[in-house]
């Protein structure tokens, strides 16, 4: 019986609706994917409104304002299955921006403390072992 059902979206879109429609609606595979994607978008927008107090569409505006990338690593775009996380101040609740999950975890582990980030940057730029070797001199560390 399913093989005789026609996709309602193919029919209303001007097509002849001859594609099989085994999915609810009834819909063909292509239109079923589009409907599911739209539902996920609506659910995500509702969630960020409820949890973070963003206005409708504000997540997308912020995403575009950031250039469509995580401002921490500048690599992640959030265009795959996993969107960029809504980063917020845990004390005030203020939304700061959108981060990839890795950068968001780094911010959380450093307790939202800007000074901790500065210390960590100094650590990366001038690691203790390098300083130790320089203070010993080249012939005192066994080389």
Residue 117: count of CB within 10 angstroms of its CB: 13
Residue 107: count of CB within 10 angstroms of its CB: 21
Cβ–Cβ < 8 Å for 91, 80:
no
pLDDT at 2: 46
Enclosing domain of residue 43: 1-52
Task: For residue 124, give the CATH number of its domain.
Answer: 3.40.1800.10
Average pLDDT, the chain: 90
The string of pLDDT tens digits covering residues 57-71 is: 999 999 999 999 999
Domain C-terminal end among 19, 34, 52:
52
Cβ–Cβ < 8 Å for 118, 111:
no
pTM for the full predicted model = 0.78
Cis status, amide bond into 72, omega within 30 of 0: no
Q: How far apart are CA 48 and CA 80, in angstroms?
A: 18
CA 122 to chain centre: 28
Count of domains observed in the chain: 2
Structural domain includes residue 143: no
The string of pLDDT tens digits covering residues 26-84 is: 999 999 999 999 999 999 999 999 999 999 999 999 999 999 999 999 999 999 889 99
């Amino acid at each position: 019986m399913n093989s005789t059902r026609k996709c309602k979206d193919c029919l209303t879109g001007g097509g002849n609706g001859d594609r099989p429609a085994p999915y609810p609606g009834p819909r063909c595979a292509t239109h079923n994917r589009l409907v599911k994607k739209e539902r996920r978008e609506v659910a995500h927008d509702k969630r960020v409104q409820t949890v973070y107090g963003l206005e409708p569409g504000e997540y997308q505006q912020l995403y575009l304002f950031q250039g469509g990338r995580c401002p921490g690593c500048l690599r992640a775009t959030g265009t795959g299955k996993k969107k960029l996380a809504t980063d917020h101040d845990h004390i005030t609740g203020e939304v700061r921006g959108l981060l990839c999950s890795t950068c968001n975890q780094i911010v959380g582990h450093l307790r939202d403390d800007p000074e901790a980030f500065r210390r960590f940057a100094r650590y990366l730029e001038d690691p203790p072992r390098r300083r130790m070797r320089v203070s010993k001199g080249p012939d005192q560390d066994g080389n």
